[in-house]
Amino acid sequence: MPDLSRRSFINGGLGLAALGLSDAAGALLPEFGGEVLPLWQGAAPGRVNLDLTQAVEDKPGANGLRNRRITRIGTPALVVMRAPQPNGAAMIVVPGGGYSAFNYDLTGIEPALWLNARGITAFILLHRLPAEGWLRRADVPLQDAQRALRLVRADAEKLKVDPDRIGVMGFSRRGTCRGLARAAI
DSSP state, residue 159? H
Q: Is the pLDDT of residue 93 over 80?
A: yes
Residue 33 is predicted with a pLDDT of 55
How many alpha carbons lie under 13 Å from residue 120 in its C-beta half-sphere?
19
Give the three-class secondary structure for 83.
coil
| Segment of 23-27, 43-47, 68-72 carrying the highest mean pLDDT | 68-72
Give the three-class secondary structure for 76.
coil
More confident position, 125 or 18: 125
Average pLDDT score, the chain: 75
Which of 51-55, 89-93, 138-142 is predicted with the least confidence, judged by mean pLDDT? 51-55
Could you read off the pLDDT of 119-134 as tens digits, one per residue? 999 999 998 888 777 7
| Distance between CA atoms of residues 182 and 185, nearest Å | 5
Report, as an integer, the average pLDDT of 99-119. 90
CB atoms within 10 A of CB 108: 27
* Predicted model pTM: 0.75
